[in-house]
Amino acid sequence: GENVEQHPSTLSVQEGDSAVIKCTYSDSASNYFPWYKQELGKRPQLIIDIRSNVGEKKDQRIAVTLNKTAKHFSLHITETQPEDSAVYFCAASRHLGGQNFVFGPGTRLSVLP
Amino acid sequence: DAGVIQSPRHEVTEMGQEVTLRCKPISGHNSLFWYRQTMMRGLELLIYFNNNVPIDDSGMPEDRFSAKMPNASFSTLKIQPSEPRDSAVYFCASSLDGTPYEQYFGPGTRLTVT
């Protein structure tokens, strides 16, 4: 089955700096890669996703890149703000009716003022 | 839309008691997922349903756990008997086949077994 690894487990950056979180997956058939943000005490919420036919996707200060050959994908947050502090989860999925995601272990991002 | 609804939001129970968690998915969604989240194990998929049919229950820890989806608008996760190691936040999520592929999470049920 699919296995998703995520690094680093914790990350501290100064406000305004960039943050990068990296994930690797094992199943070459996975074709959808979402990123979820979970603030303390709240539910995970989708912030950006990418499909396997695309190499990069941007949405304002966040971007995701995908390298299918190497089976890894990354989340990039630029100009970090204190409200970016949260746990970020990557996931991988095949589309076989009902999107069964395999989540990575999460990265706790702290943005220091 | 009210989003995914879960009840109760908090549950405190004694070891050995039966616990039932409830979930109402977003109207029209045809996939439903139950996750368990702990500090040690992260976010684990327990079971998921597609069109009310259980597709993969390999994540269900043991026979003490069972899940049902009697119709498209309701699902339950039952633990009987409960144990302290079952203490966690249990999330329900729903999605719709086809684009967009997003899973929408409910607010979670924080379960404490003493």
* A97 pLDDT more than 60: no
**In angstroms, what separates the C-alpha of B107 from chain A's closest C-alpha?**
5
Cβ-contact A106, B42 below 8 angstroms: yes
Asked if A72 contacts A22 with a C-beta cutoff of 8 angstroms, the reply is: yes
Contact (CB<8Å) B102/A34: yes
Q: What is the pLDDT of residue A94?
A: 83
- Asked whether the beta carbons of residue B95 and residue A45 sit closer than 8 angstroms, the reply is no
- Asked if residue A110 lies in contact with residue A14, where contact means CB atoms within 8 angstroms, the answer is no
Tell me which chain A residue has its CA closest to the CA of residue B98.
A97
Q: A41 and chain B: CB distance < 8 Å anywhere? A: no
Q: Is B85 helix (H, G, I), strand (E, B) or coil?
A: helix
Nearest to A97 among B97, B103, B108 (CB): B97
Please give the structure tokens belonging to residue A64: 């995701």
Give the pair of three-digit tokens for residue A100.
């069964």
CB contact under 8 A, A44 and B43: yes
pLDDT at A53: 82
pLDDT digits (tens, 9 = 90+) for A16-44: 999 999 999 999 989 999 999 999 999 99
Q: Are strands A86-93 and A32-38 parallel, antiparallel or unpaired?
A: antiparallel
pLDDT at A75 over 60: yes
Contacts of A107 in chain B (CB under 8 A): none
Contact A37, A111 (CB under 8 A): no
pLDDT score, position A84: 97
Looking at residue A96, its pLDDT comes to 53
DSSP notation for B1-29? ----EEE-SEEEE-TT--EEEEEEPPTT-
Averaged pLDDT for residues A78-83 = 97
Q: What span, in angstroms and rounded, lies between the C-alpha atoms of B53 and A98? A: 11
Cβ atoms of residues B113 and B57 within 8 Å: no
CB-based contact A89 B43, cutoff 8 Å? yes
pLDDT in tens, A42-68: 999 999 999 888 889 999 999 999 999
The neighbouring-strand residues paired with A12 are A110
Nearest to B103 among A42, A97, A101 (CB): A101
Residue A51: C-alpha distances to residues A21, A54, A74 (Å): 18, 6, 13
pLDDT of amino acid A98: 57
Per-residue pLDDT of chain B (114 residues; tens, 9 = 90+): 689 999 999 999 999 999 999 999 999 999 999 999 998 888 999 999 999 999 889 889 889 999 999 999 999 999 999 999 999 999 999 998 776 678 999 999 999 999
User: Which pLDDT value is given to residue B97?
Assistant: 79
